[in-house]
Structure 1
Amino acid sequence: MKQFFKFVLATIVGLIFAGIILVLILIGIVASASGDKNVTVESNSVLNISIDHPITERTPNNPLAGLSFLGFDTDKSIGLNDILANIKKAKTDDNIKGIYLSESYMLSGQATTEEIRKALIDFKKSGKFIVAYGEIYTQSFYYLASVADKVYINPKGMFDFSGFSSQITFLKGTLDKLGIEAQVIKVGTYKSAVEPFILTKMSDANREQVTSYMGSLYDYFLTGIANSRHLNVDTLKDIANNMKIQYPEDALKYKLVDGLKYKDEILDDLKDRTGISHKKDVKSVSIDDYTKSEGDKKDDEGSSDRRVAIIYASGEIGGGDGDDNSIGSDKISAAIRKVRLDNKVKAVVLRVNSPGGSSIASAVIWREVMLTKKVKPVIVSMGDYAASGGYYISCAADSIIAEPNTITGSIGIFSILPNMQKFFNDKLGVTFDGVKTGKFSDLGDISRPLSPEEHLILQNQVNRGYDEFTKAVADGRHKTQAYINSIGQGRVWTGTQALKLGLVDRLGNINDAITCAAKKANVKDYKLVAYPEQKSIFSKFGSGLSTEMKTRAIQSELGENFKYYEQVKGLQSMMRNPQARMPYNIVIK
């Protein structure tokens, strides 16, 4: 027994010692990573932009990014804020002679791509060059690359230019086989988020709205390319409709690219453009590393007595604190309250990139926006999505600015409650029995179907939620509730369509929103301050880091199929409370 206790004690001491060593090593790595603050940009350099990860609104606060430690790899990830800031900085950086736009997989929405594209167009005003090259051109990457002075493709590469498509996965057949009934309570003819659970194909209303907004997105996509490449929109439609581009030489023939070149030829071209000998390497700095370089005075270094706050609300909306990729009503509401009570903050930009979520959480955030608008200007900048709950939290603002290809609207409410009685009884042989003190004590029990009275209770709750939603929009947009109802009903719109309908005030990007906010507050010299505060790597230890590691592992294993995992996971929240969310996410490849 004595030997046993000695062994246990030695094990405990060893674990404690190992833990201390691990923490010290990690602190050293973090200190080392954090200490590498400045990157020197050599003269005659090229800014290399290559994006192969989903673009978040803000660069994650992770000093370990790009490092591999104890088998846990942390990929580099740069947010839209730093991408735009770096392109703007490069415009006036004498050491940067041009931009090399290399093959990128734009895994984010079209509005994000649009923001970067506009920044590149602005960069060209400096007279510096942009050269694009890729072995594989997806449609989203080509849309970005089309602004370049020269667009090249590898002679053996692939070029996709076939038009947009939208596909929905329907689960009703699966649910029928399992004996599960999706009991749907909703308001909105076009609120199609519930359709995959109750239909086997798109409803006529959903097909109508998808055809409409996909057409709007596609027209804007083609118009942008046509303007950059000096081509006709109808010509581009004909090329796509008839699949005229199947090989790289076809892309050259129809003037979508300027040449077929191998990588070594591109490097020689960059050397010629920057005055470097062909015997030497191209001087380049990546878009990630350029963040650490010294440059001109940043916009956020203005007067500390006059501030414009940017509140980032990104991801699905729910209760609690959320995280960097989701909107927690407690955390976002606290951030809005904080800037409302801060006398140094003269105006607020609410950056919304959300397909929606909990209608209750959305209403909580809306309340804080409305209160803040009473004391200082609030401008909403819409990203890829600001739909359903994402529009709910936006509608109280003084002004709403969206990109033409932002997905917005979807003003509607729904709730789903599964009836799993047949599944339990017939498939598993499980039955239930119990006692209750009231007629509706077990309302929401998934082991049985809803009674007509219970269904009516839930329908009335959803109806009330929709009435409050449309009233909030009507008040915020200075429209009648009847009008909002007519363009609501869960229908999805693009930013271009929303402008015509009066759901947004103008088309533009986040910089336009910042300028608008400062103007309304009548401030010129100001400091930009971002909220809510991002969590450090240390605050993620424990359950937070464990959850992140688990998510990364699943995402790595599933690849592009990770979106289906997220959809199934999202069902849990849909079944807890009424939802104000987009029917699906949209990614153009």
Structure 2
Amino acid sequence: MKQFLLTMAGVFVGLMLFFFVAMVSFFGFIASIASSSSKDITPAHAVLELDLRQGLSDQDPQNAFAIFSGGSQSVMTIIQVLRAAETDNKVEAIFVRLPEGGVAPAAADELRLAFQHFKKSGKPIWAHSQGLYPSGAVVSTYMLGASADQLWMQPDSSFQAVGMASEDMFFKRFFDKYGVRADYEQRYEYKNAVNPYLYSDYTAAHRESELSWMGSIYRTAVLTASADRKQNPQTFLATLEAGPYSAEEARAKGLIDQVGQVKDAEDALIAKVGGDAKLADFDDYAGGAKARMGSGSGPVIAVIGAEGAIMTGKGGGGSPFGGEQTVWSDDVAKAIYEAAEDKDVKAIVFRVSSPGGSDTASEQILAAVRAAKKAGKPVVVSMGTYAASGGYWISSQASAIVSQPTTLTGSIGVFGGKFALGEALGKFGVDVRGVSVGSDYAGAFGTGDEFTPKQRAAFSAWMDRIYGGFVARVAEGRKLPQARVREIAKGRVWTGVQAQQLGLVDQIGGFYDAVDRAKALAGVKGEVRLKMIGGAKSPFEALGRLFGGTETSMKTLAAAAWVMGDPRSQAILDQMAQSRLRDRGATVLAPTPIRQGR
């Protein structure tokens, strides 16, 4: 036993030494990246190549280690860097590589506005596609390409931007076969995130809601693309839906401008702006451009971001090397309070791209929004891909809400429940037993059995309270009668253009439209300085949080395992964070049908 303990101690010390050396090397590498990315290495005459094929997040990752997970670019960085490039004499043009699948519609809308603004500088922006395939909202990808001065496609590639489709898997018959009981309640019929567990097909409300927002997104993309291509909308729609086409056919029908390889398009653009121009990577340029942003004088508009599922607590509890974005309520609320107390800050632009999550976390953030307004700082919400359910909760009492036409928002509702697995596990010889003291409700979320009638009544009343509170906050923030909010709520998802018609959104536009709205509300004229508050932590702070507090040993060993190449460690850390949201019982979370294509 003594030898065993000595051996284990040696292994542990060895792991810690290895981990320490690896981290020293790692942070040295991080420092070298940070140093090089802040230098201006742009050629004297540059065509910036913006490659959108690796996916898009709405905002920069909060995770300081995201560079090692093959992370995507962010819409917010791209649009800000494009603004900087407009006035940079070194930048002659932009060359965009389009993904083959669908860009999230609101992301496409935001980027299109940035492209249009860039073109006003007199500099060209061209796009190239190696094919458009029916994956996600591919019509939005096409719309983005159509906004460029020229849209090229690779020879013999496929143009299949002919519509939108969505597919869901329903598990009811599978659950019935194996004895799984999905014991959920919804407020109300359009709150369909758990419908796949409860039914074997779309309900009438579910189908109505899906077709409504999909139709709205499709109409927006088609009308916008036809306007940019200067074609009659009806003729354009008929041509589009008569596909699919080859690249050559698409050109003959006026859907694109040129057919050629990537190199052909690059050479043609370089020849247009001057033969001495050189291609430069957009990300390399962005590093230097971002280092120059936010400097200068003038009134300050604070910019605070919130992307991902909304959860209580502080960031740093999940995997350091990947995973989804999360809106941590402590972090976002702290950033809003900090902006409210900053004497230089005249207004706040709150960028929200979230399908929701925890009701209590959402309320914590909304309380900070109210406090900022009380301190005399207007808060303008700029909506990204989603601002639904809890994402709308945190937006509902802002001074103004600016949404893209295809943002998915609303979903004012709540669902909750559990899976009862007792019967299913019993078939494999596993018996679930439980004991409890106190109220019968103490054991309500046990996995063995469905709710008892008494438990269900208590749970149902709790969900009614959450729903009623949600409706009340929206009614107060949007200055609508509660009866009207209940009519348009019921968990239904709306697009931004639909939400504006219903009074849930004030203005259709992008991030810089929200900045202009914030300036107007604050009485600020002229140029302003945008100040990012909150957001990504430094690697050192992220590491400190990772190993701080409870569960230190588990996180240390998991991180060490990652360094040694064990992929299971990332899953462990991701599950630690996600389980907090799944186990809440009642959730203000919207379905997330929009996926980023590649």
TM-score range normalised by the length of the shorter chain: 0.7 to 0.9
> Following TM superposition, by how much is the alpha carbon of 1:266 offset from its aligned partner in structure 2, in angstroms?
2.1
Pairing of 1:327-406 with structure 2 (within 5 A): 327-375=327-375, 376-406=377-407
Shift of the 288–554 alpha-carbon distance from structure 1 to 2, 3 Å rule, reads: farther
Match of 1:415 in 2: 416
> Following TM superposition, by how much is the alpha carbon of 1:48 offset from its aligned partner in structure 2, in angstroms?
0.7
Match of 1:210 in 2: 210
The answer to whether 1:168 aligns with 2:168 is yes
> Following TM superposition, by how much is the alpha carbon of 1:107 offset from its aligned partner in structure 2, in angstroms?
6.3
> Following TM superposition, by how much is the alpha carbon of 1:114 offset from its aligned partner in structure 2, in angstroms?
1.0
Match of 2:150 in 1: 150
Match of 1:471 in 2: 472
Shift of the 470–401 alpha-carbon distance from structure 1 to 2, 3 Å rule, reads: same
> Following TM superposition, by how much is the alpha carbon of 1:275 offset from its aligned partner in structure 2, in angstroms?
2.3
CA distance in 1, matches of 2:31, 2:579: 41
Give CA-to-partner distance per residue, 1:25-75, whole Å, 9 cap, x none: 233322221221213322332111112233223334788776xxxxxx553
Pairing of 1:33-182 with structure 2 (within 5 A): 33-36=33-36, 37-60=38-61, 73-75=68-70, 77-104=72-99, 109-138=104-133, 139=138, 140-182=140-182
CA distance in 1, matches of 2:150, 2:429: 63
Match of 2:550 in 1: none
Name the stretch that deviates more: 266-275 or 507-516: 266-275
Report the AA paired with residue 308 of structure 2: G
Among 285, 299, 305, the residue aligned to 1:312? 305
Among 535, 539, 542, the residue aligned to 2:541? 539
Aligned length: 568
Report if the CA contact (8 A) 1:190-1:489 is conserved: yes
Name the stretch that deviates more: 315-324 or 186-195: 315-324
Pairing of 1:456-467 with structure 2 (within 5 A): 456-467=457-468
Report if the CA contact (8 A) 1:314-1:353 is conserved: yes
> Following TM superposition, by how much is the alpha carbon of 1:587 offset from its aligned partner in structure 2, in angstroms?
3.0
- TM-score when scaled to structure 1? 0.87
Name the stretch that deviates more: 112-121 or 233-242: 233-242
Report if the CA contact (8 A) 1:111-1:403 is conserved: yes
State percent identity of aligned pairs: 30
> Following TM superposition, by how much is the alpha carbon of 1:17 offset from its aligned partner in structure 2, in angstroms?
5.8
Name the stretch that deviates more: 352-361 or 418-427: 418-427
Report the AA paired with residue 536 of structure 1: S
Match of 2:297 in 1: 303
Name the stretch that deviates more: 574-583 or 370-379: 574-583
Report if the CA contact (8 A) 1:51-1:105 is conserved: no
Report if the CA contact (8 A) 1:415-1:575 is conserved: no
Shift of the 154–448 alpha-carbon distance from structure 1 to 2, 3 Å rule, reads: same
The answer to whether 1:507 aligns with 2:508 is yes
Shift of the 9–419 alpha-carbon distance from structure 1 to 2, 3 Å rule, reads: closer
Shift of the 189–87 alpha-carbon distance from structure 1 to 2, 3 Å rule, reads: same
Report if the CA contact (8 A) 1:178-1:427 is conserved: no
> Following TM superposition, by how much is the alpha carbon of 1:326 offset from its aligned partner in structure 2, in angstroms?
0.7
Report the AA paired with residue 310 of structure 1: V
> Following TM superposition, by how much is the alpha carbon of 1:435 offset from its aligned partner in structure 2, in angstroms?
5.9
Shift of the 112–171 alpha-carbon distance from structure 1 to 2, 3 Å rule, reads: same
Report if the CA contact (8 A) 2:307-2:352 is conserved: yes
Match of 1:53, SS state, is coil
Match of 1:70 in 2: none
> Following TM superposition, by how much is the alpha carbon of 1:458 offset from its aligned partner in structure 2, in angstroms?
0.6
CA distance in 1, matches of 2:499, 2:152: 36
Shift of the 31–62 alpha-carbon distance from structure 1 to 2, 3 Å rule, reads: farther
Match of 1:585, SS state, is coil
Match of 1:485, SS state, is helix
Give CA-to-partner distance per residue, 1:207-242, whole Å, 9 cap, x none: 111111111110000011101112222233323433
> Following TM superposition, by how much is the alpha carbon of 1:12 offset from its aligned partner in structure 2, in angstroms?
7.8
> Following TM superposition, by how much is the alpha carbon of 1:522 offset from its aligned partner in structure 2, in angstroms?
2.1
Pairing of 1:217-296 with structure 2 (within 5 A): 217-242=217-242, 244-276=243-275, 283-293=278-288
Shift of the 217–571 alpha-carbon distance from structure 1 to 2, 3 Å rule, reads: farther
Match of 1:126, SS state, is coil
Aligned-CA RMSD value: 3.4
CA distance in 1, matches of 2:69, 2:335: 28
Report if the CA contact (8 A) 2:101-2:141 is conserved: yes
> Following TM superposition, by how much is the alpha carbon of 1:14 offset from its aligned partner in structure 2, in angstroms?
6.4
CA distance in 1, matches of 2:143, 2:473: 37
CA distance in 2, matches of 1:264, 1:419: 58
- TM-score when scaled to structure 2? 0.86
Shift of the 158–377 alpha-carbon distance from structure 1 to 2, 3 Å rule, reads: same
Match of 1:455 in 2: 456
> Following TM superposition, by how much is the alpha carbon of 1:7 offset from its aligned partner in structure 2, in angstroms?
8.9
> Following TM superposition, by how much is the alpha carbon of 1:21 offset from its aligned partner in structure 2, in angstroms?
4.0
CA distance in 2, matches of 1:7, 1:182: 48
Give CA-to-partner distance per residue, 1:416-439, whole Å, 9 cap, x none: 222222123334341526464544
Shift of the 296–450 alpha-carbon distance from structure 1 to 2, 3 Å rule, reads: closer
Report if the CA contact (8 A) 2:40-2:285 is conserved: yes
Among 568, 573, 585, the residue aligned to 1:577? 585
> Following TM superposition, by how much is the alpha carbon of 1:441 offset from its aligned partner in structure 2, in angstroms?
3.6
Match of 1:202, SS state, is coil
Report the AA paired with residue 145 of structure 1: G
Match of 2:319 in 1: none
Report the AA paired with residue 301 of structure 1: S
Among 584, 587, 594, the residue aligned to 1:586? 594
> Following TM superposition, by how much is the alpha carbon of 1:384 offset from its aligned partner in structure 2, in angstroms?
0.6
> Following TM superposition, by how much is the alpha carbon of 1:555 offset from its aligned partner in structure 2, in angstroms?
10
Report if the CA contact (8 A) 2:63-2:536 is conserved: no
> Following TM superposition, by how much is the alpha carbon of 1:547 offset from its aligned partner in structure 2, in angstroms?
7.3
Report the AA paired with residue 530 of structure 1: M
Shift of the 162–555 alpha-carbon distance from structure 1 to 2, 3 Å rule, reads: farther
CA distance in 1, matches of 2:113, 2:360: 36
Report if the CA contact (8 A) 2:415-2:588 is conserved: yes
> Following TM superposition, by how much is the alpha carbon of 1:445 offset from its aligned partner in structure 2, in angstroms?
1.9
Give CA-to-partner distance per residue, 1:270-301, whole Å, 9 cap, x none: 23213227xxxx60112111113469974x22
Match of 2:433 in 1: 432
Report if the CA contact (8 A) 1:355-1:585 is conserved: no
Mark the runs of 5 or more structure 2 residues left unpaired by the alignment.
Answer: 317-323, 548-554
Shift of the 29–483 alpha-carbon distance from structure 1 to 2, 3 Å rule, reads: same
